[in-house]
Chain A
Amino acid sequence: MTKPEIQAPFPGVFYRKSSPDAPVYVEEGQVVQVGDVIGLIEVMKQFVELKAEVSGTLLHFSVDNETVLEAGDVIATMEMNE
Chain B
Amino acid sequence: MIRRLLIVNRGEIALRIVRAAQESGLVSIIAHSEADTDTLAVQRADEAVCIGPAQASKSYLNIPAIIEAAKACQADAVHPGYGFLSESADFARAVKEAGMVFIGPDAEIIARMGDKAMARQTAIEAGVPVVPGSPHAVKGLDDALAVVESVGFPLLIKAAAGGGGRGIRIAEDRDALGKQLPLAQAEAQASFGDGRVYLERFISSARHIEVQVLGDGKRAVHFFERECSLQRRRQKVFEEAPSSALDSATRKALCESAVALTEHVGYVGAGTLEYLFDDTTGEFFFIEMNTRIQVEHPVTEMITGVDLVREMIRLACGQALRMTQSDISLKGWAIEMRINAEDPERDFFPSPGTVKRLIWPAGPGIRIDSGLYEGYKMPPFYDSLVAKLIVWDEDRECALKRAGRALDEFQLEGFSTTASLHRRLVEDPQVKEGAIDTTFLERWLAEPASSHVHAKEVIDEQ
Contacts and interface: CB of A to CB of B under 8 A. Distances in A.
Interface of A: 10-13, 42-46, 66, 68
A81 B381 CA distance: 36
B352 A45 contact: no
23 contacts: A10-B350, A10-B352, A10-B380, A11-B380, A12-B380, A13-B381, A42-B380, A42-B381, A43-B350, A43-B352, A43-B380, A44-B341, A44-B342, A44-B350, A44-B352, A44-B381, A44-B382, A45-B382, A45-B384, A46-B350, A66-B55, A68-B54, A68-B380
Contacts of B380: 10-13, 42-44, 68
A9 to B, nearest CB: 10
Interface string B236-262: 000000000000000000000000000
Interface string B378-403: 00111110000000000000000000
Contacts, number: 31
Nearest to B383: A45
Nearest to B340: A44
What is the interface of chain A mostly: helix, strand, loop, or mixed?
A: strand
A10 B379 CA distance: 12
A70 B383 CA distance: 18
B352 A11 contact: yes
Given A12-B380, A42-B381, A43-B352, 15 more contacts: A10-B380, A11-B380, A13-B55, A13-B381, A42-B380, A43-B350, A43-B380, A44-B342, A44-B382, A44-B383, A45-B382, A45-B383, A46-B349, A66-B55, A68-B54
A43 B340 CA distance: 13
Nearest to B351: A10
A80 to B, nearest CB: 29
| Chain B facing A: main interface SS | loop
Interface of B: 54-55, 341-342, 349-350, 352, 380-384
A54 B54 CA distance: 33
Nearest to A45: B383
Nearest to B341: A44
Contacts of B352: 10-11, 43-44
A46 B381 CA distance: 9
Contacts of A45: 382-384
A43 B382 CA distance: 8
Nearest to B54: A68
Which of A42, A43, A66 lies at the interface centre, i.e. has the most chain B CB atoms within 10 A of its CB? A43
A50 to B, nearest CB: 14
B269 to A, nearest CB: 27
Closest 6 CB pairs of A and B: A44-B350, A44-B384, A11-B380, A43-B350, A43-B380, A12-B380
Contacts of B55: 13, 66
Max chain A C-beta neighbours (<10 A), residue from B342, B350, B384: B350
Contacts of B381: 13, 42, 44
B418 to A, nearest CB: 13
B338 to A, nearest CB: 13
A10 B351 CA distance: 8
B352 to A, nearest CB: 6
Q: Which of B54, B380, B383 has the most CB of A within 10 A?
A: B380
A15 B376 CA distance: 26
A51 B415 CA distance: 24
B319 to A, nearest CB: 36
B232 to A, nearest CB: 13
A45 B383 CA distance: 6
A11 B341 CA distance: 13
Contacts of B350: 10, 43-44, 46
Contacts of A10: 350, 352, 380
A13 B352 CA distance: 13
Nearest to B381: A13
